[in-house]
């Protein structure tokens, strides 16, 4: 077992194509997950039926592994004739679409809980002051509560984002050739498991650490009022 | 409808999932505790080794680590052994690779959790134990550990759920656990929906069970912090 730099260089195009797939899966999931999480988090903060629905949504999608969701969407749903015999089939037969759906559901479950925590941490006096000054609930939400919550949850969002980067390796199970699957392809051709897998690991490591640096900078900018002078 | 034979197989797979998850978690706890204890005080060499370890294992997907251990594990073990002049040939089973990968990845996360729990025990506790001449082992075991447990339990519960869910992902290296059997059953019966729903019910059930048990353990670990008698509001008010 030794690291073969020549093979690593030669397999770079395959691995970078895998990295592109990883991002093609990741980026829509991050956007859609965030958009879906916001209403769920707001419902969770209300009382009654809506809160129960939001709580069970969060509990379900946080409790089920993303691989199970991916299989359920990719090979489970086509069993239902509603999906198989209608226009839905054209989208659900696409592996990318299924990966987006499966991972978005998982991501939105976690994000809803994070946003709920952030909104709950906003001091009630701020909301009362906004009401007293005549801001509509919508204005108070978008101009005050969400910007404040964003600052509180930055650390939690960083953790969740890095977890999502790493969870995208699950999409290799539904035939997409992401970075992990690309490394396995190189292994299949060359019978050298060590070099491609370690190279792929290095690429993941770079992605994750660039994101960490980005978050540190964002934290410094957004939370500069908390920094010690 | 699901056939009983396949459901039985899912049960066997579920036991395997639990076995892998429990063993990985115990390994992660051992690694995490060891790293937490040696990195308590700032020491250059140990601190550097920990930084490298944590950076690698928290920066790489656990699935990739498992693939690496499974396919290249025997090579890694052989070359490590040849460093000390031994010739060893080992076959790495998917089980061993999964446990090693999950244990090493989540050991890095647990070490941070346990270290900050130890650091959050009030320093007066260590000082009081020293003044009272409590021997070192007894200090750690009877004074510090129970308090660390109280502080670390919520995080440890979350980590257990994460490890259990990651076990499903690790099945891709060829582990015969619940997902593998669900896939097998779906392939044979052409009814994938039912078997994947059953698998998700298993994971939901385990999560629920975890919260149920952890609430009991947490309230046990908080004994001495909560008043035994509930404080009733005074009648006159």
Buried b (16+ CB within 10 A) or exposed e, A88-121: eeeebeebeebbbbbbbbbbbbbbbbbbbebbee
pLDDT over threshold 70, residue B157: yes
CA B209/CA B203 separation, integer angstroms: 10
pLDDT of residue B222: 83
Average pLDDT over residues A72-87: 81
- At residue B233, the pLDDT reads 67
Q: What is the mean pLDDT of chain B?
A: 89
Round to whole Å and give the CA distance between B25 and B163. Answer: 7
Q: Does A172 contact chain B (CB < 8 Å)? A: yes
User: Average pLDDT, stretch B116-133?
Assistant: 92
pLDDT for the residue numbered B88: 77
Mean pLDDT, chain A, integer: 91
Q: Is the pLDDT of residue B202 over 70?
A: yes
Q: How large a percentage of chain A has pLDDT more than 70? A: 99
Q: Return the residue matching tokens 């910007």.
A: A147
Contact B63 A201 (CB under 8 A): no
Q: Least CA distance to B207: which residue of chain A?
A: A63
- Among residues of chain A, what percentage have pLDDT more than 90? 72
A86-90, A153-157, A212-216, range with the lowest pLDDT? A86-90
Answer yes or no: is pLDDT of A26 > 90: yes
Q: Which of A60, A62, A80 sits opposite B193 (nearest CB)?
A: A80
| In chain A, residues 188-217 whose CB comes closer than 8 Å to chain B | 193-194, 197-198, 200-201, 204-205, 208-209
pLDDT value for B234:
66
CB atoms within 10 A of CB B219: 11
User: What own/partner pairs with CB < 8 Å and gap ≥ 24 does B224-232 have?
Assistant: B225/B150
The residue ranking higher by pLDDT, B223 or A219, is A219
The mean per-residue pLDDT over the stretch A149-172 comes to 92
Q: Please, which pLDDT band fits residue B236 given cuts at 50, 70 and 90?
A: low
Please give the residue of chain B at the shortest CA–CA distance from A200.
Answer: B64
Average pLDDT over every residue of B6-25: 93
Q: Which of B170, B160, B171 is nearest to B209 (CA)?
A: B160
Residues 6+ apart with CB under 8 A from A67: A170, A173, B168, B169, B171, B172, B179
Asked if pLDDT for residue A81 goes beyond 80, the answer is no
pLDDT at B15 (0 to 100):
94
Res A106: pLDDT:
94
**In whole angstroms, what is the distance from residue A38 CA to residue A56 CA?**
15
Alpha-carbon Rg for chain A in angstroms: 21
Q: How confident is the model at residue A205 (pLDDT cuts 50, 70, 90)?
A: very high
- What pLDDT band is residue B231 in, cutting at 50, 70 and 90? low
Q: State how far the Cα of A9 lies from the Cα of A7, in Å rounded to an integer.
A: 5
The partner residues of B226 in beta bridges, in order of sequence, read B223
Instruction: Name which of A1, A67, A165 is nearest B76 (Cβ-Cβ).
Output: A1
Q: Which residues of A touch B68 (CB under 8 A)?
A: 193-194, 197-198, 201
* The predicted structure's pLDDT at residue B1: 66
Average confidence (pLDDT) over B209-218 = 91
CA atoms within 13 A on the CB side of B177: 28
Helix (H) or strand (E) holding A130, with range, is: helix A124-132
A149/chain B closest Cα distance in angstroms: 22
Residue B42: what are its φ and ψ, rounded to 5°?
-70, 115
Quote ipTM for the complex. Answer: 0.88
Q: What is the pLDDT of residues B64-84, one digit of tens each?
A: 999 999 998 888 888 888 888
Q: What pLDDT shows up at residue B92?
A: 87
Helices and strands (H and E) in chain A: how many: 13, 0
Encode pLDDT of B31-48 as tens digits. 999 999 999 888 889 999
Cα A180 to Cα A168: distance, rounded to the nearest angstrom: 9
Average pLDDT over residues A121-143: 92
Does the beta carbon of A75 lie under 8 angstroms from any beta carbon of chain B? yes
pLDDT of A33 strictly over 90: yes
Is B182's CB within 8 Å of A169's CB?
Answer: no
Average pLDDT over residues B201-216: 93
Q: How far A111 CA sits from the closest chain B CA (Å)?
A: 16
Residue extents of the structural domains in chain A: 5-222
Domain regions of chain B by residue span? 4-221
pLDDT of residue B124: 92
CATH, range B4-221: 1.10.3720.10
Of 3.40.50.1820, 1.10.3720.10, 1.20.1250.20, 2.30.110.10, which CATH number belongs to A5-222? 1.10.3720.10
């Amino acid at each position: 077992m030794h690291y073969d730099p020549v093979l690593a260089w030669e397999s770079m195009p395959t691995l970078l194509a895998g990295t592109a797939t990883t991002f093609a899966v990741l980026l829509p999931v991050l956007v859609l997950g965030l958009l879906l999480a916001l209403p769920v988090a707001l419902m969770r903060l209300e009382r009654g039926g809506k809160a129960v629905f939001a709580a069970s949504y969060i509990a379900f999608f946080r409790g089920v592994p993303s691989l199970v969701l991916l299989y359920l969407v990719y090979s489970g749903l086509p069993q239902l004739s509603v999906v198989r015999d209608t226009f839905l089939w054209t989208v659900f037969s696409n592996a990318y679409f299924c990966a987006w759906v499966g991972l978005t559901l998982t991501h939105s479950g976690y994000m809803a809980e994070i946003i709920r925590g952030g909104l709950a941490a906003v001091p009630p006096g701020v909301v009362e002051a906004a009401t007293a000054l005549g801001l509509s609930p919508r204005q108070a939400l978008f101009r005050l509560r969400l910007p404040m919550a964003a600052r509180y949850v930055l650390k939690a969002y960083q953790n969740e984002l890095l977890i999502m980067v790493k969870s995208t390796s699950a999409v290799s199970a539904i035939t997409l050739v992401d970075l992990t699957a690309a490394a396995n392809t190189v292994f299949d051709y060359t019978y050298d498991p060590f070099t491609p897998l370690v190279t792929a690991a290095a690429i993941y490591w770079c992605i994750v650490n660039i994101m960490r640096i980005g978050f540190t900078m964002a934290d410094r900018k957004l939370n500069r009022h908390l920094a010690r002078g | 409808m699901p056939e009983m034979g396949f459901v039985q197989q899912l049960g066997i797979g579920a036991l395997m999932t639990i076995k892998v998850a429990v063993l990985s978690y115990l390994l992660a706890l051992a690694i995490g505790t060891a790293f937490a204890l040696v990195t308590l005080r700032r020491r250059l060499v140990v601190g550097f080794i920990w930084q490298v370890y944590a950076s690698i294992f928290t920066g790489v997907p656990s699935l990739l680590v498992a693939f690496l251990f499974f396919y290249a594990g025997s090579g890694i073990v052989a070359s490590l052994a040849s460093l000390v002049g031994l010739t060893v040939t080992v076959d790495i089973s998917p089980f061993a690779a999964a446990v090693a990968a999950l244990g090493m990845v989540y050991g890095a996360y647990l070490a941070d959790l346990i270290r900050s729990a130890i650091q959050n025990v009030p320093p007066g506790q260590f000082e009081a134990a020293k003044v009272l001449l409590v021997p070192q082992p007894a200090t750690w075991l009877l004074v510090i550990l129970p308090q660390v447990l109280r502080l670390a339990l919520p995080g440890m519960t979350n980590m257990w759920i994460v490890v259990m869910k990651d076990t499903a992902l690790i099945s891709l290296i060829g582990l015969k656990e619940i997902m593998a059997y669900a896939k097998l059953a779906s392939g044979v019966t052409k009814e994938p929906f039912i078997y994947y729903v059953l698998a998700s019910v298993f994971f939901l059930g385990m999560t629920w069970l975890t919260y149920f048990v952890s609430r009991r353990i947490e309230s046990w670990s908080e004994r001495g912090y909560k008043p035994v008698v509930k404080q009733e509001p005074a009648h006159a008010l």
